[in-house]
Each structure stands twice: as structure tokens, then as C-alpha cells.
């Protein structure tokens, strides 16, 4: 099935602590993830969610969570901080879900360890976009949207913890 475009979705989650903070109380953080949009003809588009999800909190290991769903804003989900569509190069064949997943697994994007701070989903999202750029599906510079989204969230939501650009490790 062809992927029509990529949607960067950022939700507010509870879970982080500011640098040097000793309190065990969680603070709101921004969590970045990717949706591969397959059908955008309704209010709840069919998509494949790609998410770098914590697997072992003590080691920072994650797994690439892949799930098919009709995505919609709902009162039961965490607050959406940003939603931005990133399109493929016009006139080129659209990649299929299988092509994208094979690209990510081939580049070991499913083997990821978060930064020691517990952050790294933003970096993971940027790297996945860079993979799509290198594969020729997206225009060079398309990955800059991640930094733009981060800056817009930080400006509009100063209460949201935005850790420095923490780079996890692919293995």
C-alpha cells in the first residue's frame, strides 16, 4: 500500500525531569513520532504509526513500535502539541509501507538506545526523515521541520520540557 505522506505528530506526555532536578514528580514533555498516512480521505485517516517506545527504562533501550490505526484527535489521548505533514517529492513514485519499513530496519532504526537523559525521540524522528531523503523520497532539507516544530512548541508552551537535542545511539 502506498504511503501518501508522512505526518510528524508531537504529543505532550508526563515523564521527564529537568536537568539537575531531583524531584520524582513528572513534568510535561514533548514526544515526537511519525505517522505514515495511507488514506487521508476522512476525519480519521488510516495510518501506520512509527514510534520509538521505551522498552527498558533503566537502560534506555527502545523498540520501534509499528501499529496500523485510524488516527483521530480524541479527548482520551494526550494533548497534541504539533502536527505537520511532510510530503514526498512530487512526480516520483510513492513508497509503499513495506519499502519504508525495510528501509528503516535495514538502517537499524528499530535498534535504538535513548540518550542518558531519557530523551531522543526527536532525534529518532529526524534520522528517519533523513533516511527517506537519502533514499530519494523527500527533498533535501525536509528534516529541518523537526527543529522548526521544536522551536514553535517551546515558544508557545514554555511549561513543556524541551531537553537539548539529545542524540541516542543506533546499534
Of 96, 68, 92, 94, the C-alpha closest to 1 is 96
Report CA torsion sign: 25, 119, 105, 50. Answer: positive
Domain boundaries, the chain: 5-170
pLDDT tens digit string along 5-24?
A: 999 999 988 765 544 455 45
Of 171, 34, 54, 23, the C-alpha closest to 111 is 171
The 3-state DSSP class for residue 107 equals coil
pLDDT of residue 60: 61
Conformational region of residue 120, where left means phi above 0, alpha means psi within -120 to 50, and beta covers everything else: left
pLDDT of residue 166: 82
How far apart CA 99 and CA 2 sit, in angstroms, is 9
* The C-alpha cell that represents 79 in the structure block: 494533548
Average pLDDT of the residues in 20-31: 67
The pLDDT > 70 percentage for the chain reads: 79
Q: Is the pLDDT of residue 29 over 50?
A: yes
Average pLDDT of the residues in 107-123: 85
How far apart CA 128 and CA 147 sit, in angstroms, is 14
Listed in order, strand segments (DSSP E) in 43-94 are 46-56, 61-70, 80-87
Report CA torsion sign: 22, 24, 29, 31. Answer: positive
pLDDT tens digit string along 70-86?
A: 766 554 556 899 999 99
> Mean pLDDT, the chain, as a whole number?
83
pLDDT of residue 89: 96
The H-or-E segment that residue 7 falls in is strand 5-16
Q: Is the pLDDT of residue 32 over 80?
A: yes
How far apart CA 39 and CA 24 sit, in angstroms, is 42
- Pick the residue with more confidence: 161 or 7? 7
Amino acid at each position: 500500500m502506498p504511503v501518501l505522506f508522512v505526518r510528524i505528530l508531537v504529543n505532550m506526555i508526563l515523564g521527564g525531569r529537568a536537568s539537575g532536578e531531583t524531584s520524582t514528580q513528572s513534568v510535561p514533555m514533548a514526544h515526537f513520532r511519525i505517522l505514515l498516512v495511507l488514506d487521508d480521505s476522512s476525519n480519521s485517516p488510516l495510518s501506520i504509526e512509527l514510534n520509538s517506545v521505551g522498552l527498558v527504562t533503566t537502560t534506555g533501550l527502545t523498540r520501534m513500535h509499528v501499529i496500523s490505526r485510524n488516527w483521530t484527535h480524541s479527548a482520551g489521548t494526550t494533548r497534541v502539541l504539533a502536527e505537520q505533514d511532510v510530503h514526498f517529492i512530487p512526480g516520483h513514485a510513492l513508497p509503499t509501507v513495506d519499502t519504508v519499513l525495510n528501509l528503516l530496519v535495514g538502517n537499524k532504526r528499530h535498534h535504538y538506545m535513548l540518550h542518558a537523559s531519557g530523551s531522543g525521540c526527536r532525534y529518532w524522528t529526524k534520522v528517519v526523515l533523513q533516511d527517506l531523503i537519502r533514499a530519494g523520497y523527500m527533498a533535501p532539507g525536509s528534516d529541518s521541520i523537526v527543529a522548526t516544530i521544536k522551536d514553535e512548541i517551546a515558544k508557545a508552551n514554555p511549561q513543556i520540557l524541551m531537553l537539548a537535542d539529545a542524540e541516542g545511539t543506533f546499534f
